[in-house]
Amino acid sequence: MSDVQRGFEDMSSIDTPATEPVAVGSEQTEDRRPVLLRLEEVARVHGQGTAVPVHALNGVSLEVRVGELVAVMGPSGSGKSTLLHVAGGLDKPTSGDVVVDGVSIGGLSVKSRAALRRRSVGYVFQDLNLVPALTAVENVMLPRELDGIGTRQARKEARAALSEVGVEDLADRFPEEMSGGQQQRVAIARALVGPRRLVLADEPTGALDSLTGEAIMRLLRARVDAGAAGLLVTHDSQHAAWADRVVLLRDGKVSDDAPFPGR
C-alpha cells in the first residue's frame, strides 16, 4: 500500500466527485492524453554557494495531462509552493527542465517567460491578488490586455469567464464590495480567461468556508474536465478528493505519486 493510499484509507465517508478519470488497475492502458506540464529532475536551491543552502526541491519529476487534476500534499516546508512557482515559470529551477504546453521554459528570457505565463498558465492563489482599484471585469481583462488583445474583445472574454464561474452580475463591483468567496471566483475567472489550459492553484480555498470551498473545487474540476490540466496544492484531504492523483512531497522530494483511492 502506498503512502498516499495509506493516508486516505480511512476516508471512505468522503463522497468522491463525479468525474470520468482514466481507469486504474491491472488492466490499465497507456494514457495517451497530451502532457501539458512536465517537470524533469527539477531542483531548486535557495542560497546556493552559501554556508547553508536550502534545497526546496530535489530531483522532482512530474507530469500533468490534459483532463487531469493533480493534488500536491505534504507538510509545511516540503516544497509545495516552490513546486507551483517553478511549474508556472514564476521561479527558475536551479537544475532540471520544466516544459509547459510543449515549451521548455528554462532557457526563455524574462519577457518570453512572462508571455508564456499569460498565454498558457492561470494562477489561483489564496491571497487572490486582485487589483483593488479595478472592477471585477477589469481585473479579469487585465492579462488579456497585457497580451495585446483589444479592449472590446478582452471585456467580452472577461464577462464570459465571470459567467462561467457564476458571478457575471458582479462585473462592475470593486473587490471591497464583494465577499471572500465572490473575490475568489473573480480570481478564478482571471486565471481561466482566454486560451489558458494549465491551472495552478495554491491553497485556493484556505480562507473560505466549507461550502464556498467545495464550490470553488467544483469549478476547478469542471475546467479540467473541459480540457485543461490542473495542479493543486492543498492540505485538505476532502479537497484532494477532487483530484485524479495525489502527489506527496517530503523534504523537496516526491515520496509518493498515486491515484486517489477509489478512482
Q: For residue 232, which amino acid is it?
A: L
What pLDDT is attached to residue 244?
A: 96
Mean pLDDT of the chain: 86
Least confident window among 25-29, 40-44, 151-155, 174-178: 25-29
What pLDDT is attached to residue 23?
A: 45
What pLDDT is attached to residue 262?
A: 61
Q: What is the sign, positive or negative, of the torsion defined by CA atoms of 143, 144, 148, 150?
A: negative
Check pLDDT > 60 for residue 7: no
The pLDDT of 118-122, averaged and rounded, is: 88
Q: Say if residues 136 and 173 touch (Cβ distance below 8 Å).
A: yes
Sheet holding 229-233, edge to edge: 121-125, 198-202, 229-233, 69-73, 245-250, 253-259
Give the helix ranges, DSSP H, for the chain: 3-7, 80-87, 110-120, 136-146, 151-164, 180-192, 210-225, 237-240
What pLDDT is attached to residue 22?
A: 44
Tens-digit pLDDT profile for residues 201-238 = 998 887 778 888 888 899 889 889 999 999 999 988 88
CATH 2.30.40.10 correct for 3-8+34-129+195-259: no
* Maximum average pLDDT range among 9-13, 30-34, 210-214, 241-245: 241-245
The pLDDT of 34-45, averaged and rounded, is: 96
